[in-house]
Structure 1
Amino acid sequence: MKKYVIKLNGKAYEVEIEEVTGEAATSVVEKEAPVRTSAPVQNAGGQKIDAPMPGNIVNVAVKPGDVIKKGQLLVVLEAMKMENEIVSPVDGTVTAVSVAKGDSVNAGDALVQIA
């Protein structure tokens, strides 16, 4: 049995897949898994967006001073040969971008600050 976490329409699902051979049936168990997100920072700095996993930055779509909307693309993070879009959880203005294209990041590293 292998477990995967799949994100679909903003919700994360933990999926178990059982490998079967012949005419055996396949069973799939689906349940919501917790999604790790940055907690809002309630200070003058605003909302801090952190890397949810280690990987490489393949695109930075914003720069300081940009006015953004909730759901807007901020950064694309490649991890395990998958491109993960990091989007804004809030409306606001980008006050800092802590990464550049080609940077390697660890889980929890700061990516973008939004006021």
Structure 2
Amino acid sequence: MKYIVTVNGKKFEVEVERIGNGNGSKQVNETPEKVTANDIEQKIAGGIKISAPMPGKILSVNIKEGQKAKKGDVLFILEAMKMENEIMVPEDGMVEKVLVSKGAQVSSGDILAILK
């Protein structure tokens, strides 16, 4: 069966497979992998979205589009509650798009950059 699912305001078509004959439940031995809405959105969009963990001001942008980034590299410095917070690369990739600049005010969850 096909369904339309909305995740963070974006619509996705998903296909669901029935397990069993529909006359009762069937025990499945596999433990399903826990996936967040953000994980789904990243996989479907084909990129890793780096988002602001809290509201604040961008003090430093340490990347450029097309640049390679390694896990742990500091992409941005975000000032929030008078503290400087480092926004780091979650996994190796290449910077596809930088969406903020130095001095920008961001809200929690705003996408700062996209990696491939």
Bin of the TM-score, shorter chain as denominator length: 0.5 to 0.7
Bigger share in strand = 1
Give 4+ residue runs of structure 1 displaced > 3 Å after superposition: none
1:63 aligned partner: 64
- Structure 1 alignment gaps of length 5 or more: 1-37
User: 2 CA distance for matches of 1:66 and 1:82?
Assistant: 27
1:13 aligned partner: none
Return 94-103 or 43-52, whichever deviates more.
Answer: 43-52
Q: 1:63-101 CA distances to partner (integer Å, 9 max, x unpaired)? A: 110001000010000001100000000100000011000
RMSD: 1.4
SS of the equivalent of 2:101 reads coil
Give me the TM-score of the superposition, normalised by structure 1: 0.64
CA contact (8 A) 1:45 1:113 kept: no
CA contact (8 A) 1:65 1:93 kept: yes
User: 1 CA distance for matches of 2:46 and 2:76?
Assistant: 19
- Structure 2 alignment gaps of length 5 or more: 1-36
Give me the TM-score of the superposition, normalised by structure 2: 0.64
Which one has a bigger Cα radius of gyration? 2
SS of the equivalent of 1:95 reads strand
Bigger share in helix = 2
